[in-house]
Structure 1
Amino acid sequence: MSDIDMALTSQLVVAWAGETGEEHRLGWWRCDLASEYGGEDLFRRLLPSTWRWAALQGAREAARRVDAELRRRDHEPDRIISLFSLGFELDERIEERLADLKRSGHTPDEALPGLAITHDGWRPDIFWDWVADHGKAGGTTSPAGRRLSGSLPATVGQQARRLVAGLAPAAEHYPLPHFRRAL
């Protein structure tokens, strides 16, 4: 799996897990787009060939907005690198990759096998095991969220791994694991 695919998979899994709705998951953002009786039903009717992508993309957008709001709490929000804000160039590459995958005709599962965790319904133990499989992040609480220790990893894949690991321990609200970009 490429680093861009790894980052995109991580974003989509966390976005799915963070939803609130009929099938209550973590409840970090107010949307219910990737559940059978939530947005999934509407997307199936409107977008018969890409509804799975649309549901995940909608959840990802909800997560991105919450992430952006939390970053704005910091005195220098543009220096924060988070799972949903990896920097302009990387964010653009991830968007382009998502568009390419949607046009490919493959389902999300076929294109990004790491999304398998989203298929059997919400199982908190499986999600937190998935987070733990990304390693340990270590960090401290900051006004914006959970600032991870150490320097920003060199590759987007390594960044995504550390940022996912930074979700642990579980929190009532999205903890915004992040790095601070050097000046």
Structure 2
Amino acid sequence: MRSVLMQDREVRVAEVPDPEPGPGEVVVDVLACGVCGSDLHCVAHGADVNAATRNALGVELMDLSRPVSFGHEFVGAVAEYGANTQQTLPVGTRVVSMAALLRETPAFVGFCGPEVPGGYSERMLLSEPLLMPVPDHVDTAIAALTGSLAVASRAVAKAELGPDDVALVVGCGPIGLAVLAAPGSSTWRR
């Protein structure tokens, strides 16, 4: 299958093996994937991102000595179930998921190598317990923005700003724009 890979700050499309689901895992066909600012930041400043995650979490987000498969804001369609799955969602169901595989050593989907392809691939692996079906009335492209919209909505809620408070949104990337559009932000002065 085709997958977008990054190595040495270069991005390319490559052929990689189809993913094989492990216990509790599901293969999904990728329907849409948003381009997250963190993906772009990882391409330009991967070593700095790793230093920051090492300092904050004690682990590096990516192994920069090998190709990295990005894409963690996605919508997929269930294609195949691995062993030890409940199979409660029919094949073909559109889903979103937290971008993690629940393995003995967890994997951050969208920041691993080609063996754990991200959303910029034709297919990817997800952990069945983390799957959330996309309602029929929600457009696939909109559902791929779930992560950015959730971060923005939470930021607006946590700010607890009143009508006389002034907020400053620095940066109009996906999250900054979503902050301006989030419910509750209408009291903000723009």
Same-fold call, TM cutoff 0.5: no
Give the TM-score taking structure 2 as reference length: 0.24
Q: Which has the larger radius of gyration?
A: 2
Higher strand share: 2
Give the TM-score taking structure 1 as reference length: 0.24
